Amino acid sequence: MLPPAVDLFDVERLLLTEGEEPVLSPSDAAARDRVWSKAVQANPALFDGPAVACAELQYREPGVVRLSWVRVTYRHYALRRVPGATALPSLFVNVVQPTVDGRLLVARMSSSTAAPGRWQLPGGSVEPPQTGEGLEESDLAVQAARELAEELGLDAGAKALRLSVVTRGENGSVGLTYLAPPLAEPAVRAAFSAAAAAERAQGREPELADIALVRSSQELANLPGPHADYLEPIIRRFADGP
């Protein structure tokens, strides 16, 4: 089976506007809530916290991405399992962390996550700003840097990250991919080990179970287990070259 198609856009400028969540019919809202309730029963770790969805993505001129975003909660995505209903795509940030020898870091999700065993980039869902405040690209860079620090123990800082590509993949989900400065492999592995140990010391399972460094999309393909749909195109873009 062929992997799902993923659109990848090089980005030099990101234009953000806030939209409104579509109004649901009473029947769709009730069906969504039933699906969400069953999901929580199956996985009590699920939390209906605030999130950001993508209402529209446009790439009409090279390097310029226009994105309309909407405030939702995670319950919104239960609409994907409601026949006839439409869920807005999720919006997330992730980070390409290279090493000085040209390899790229990929991470495997732990068994307690929503995607156990899946290989992906470090990152997470975009969080909405406070009510009445807008969402700026600098806010997204801060969130990407925070994910890198929390998951890998790497404190690159938002100003060191550069928004490089935007992907649109499965369920239309939109990923904003940042590029971090290269680091030596021993520093990357030491930071990851320390971050994982700190989580276990607090009685929590780390979100990432393992990391790997790959030099090409072919090496990525050799990693056993599921891969995020955007991962191979991004690795091909940064490791294999145009």
Q: Could you tell me which of 218, 242, 208, 239 has the C-alpha nearest to residue 102?
A: 239
How many CB atoms within 10 Å of residue 96?
Answer: 23
Amino acid (one-letter) located at 133: E
pLDDT at 120: 96
Domain residue ranges in the chain: 7-240
The pTM (predicted TM-score) of the whole model is 0.93
Which fold would CATH assign to domain 7-240? Nucleoside Triphosphate Pyrophosphohydrolase (3.90.79)
pLDDT at 114: 74
**What percentage of the chain carries pLDDT values higher than 70?**
97
pLDDT at 131: 81
38-76 pLDDT per residue, tens: 999 988 888 899 999 999 999 988 999 999 999 999 999
18-33 pLDDT per residue, tens: 998 889 999 999 999 9
pLDDT at 4: 54
pLDDT at 111: 84
pLDDT at 171: 77
pLDDT at 2: 40
Residues 6+ apart with CB under 8 A from 175: 91, 92, 93, 94, 123, 166, 167, 168, 169, 230
Do residues 50 and 169 lie in contact, with contact meaning Cβ atoms separated by under 8 Å? no
Positions of the chain with pLDDT under 70: 1-4, 241-242
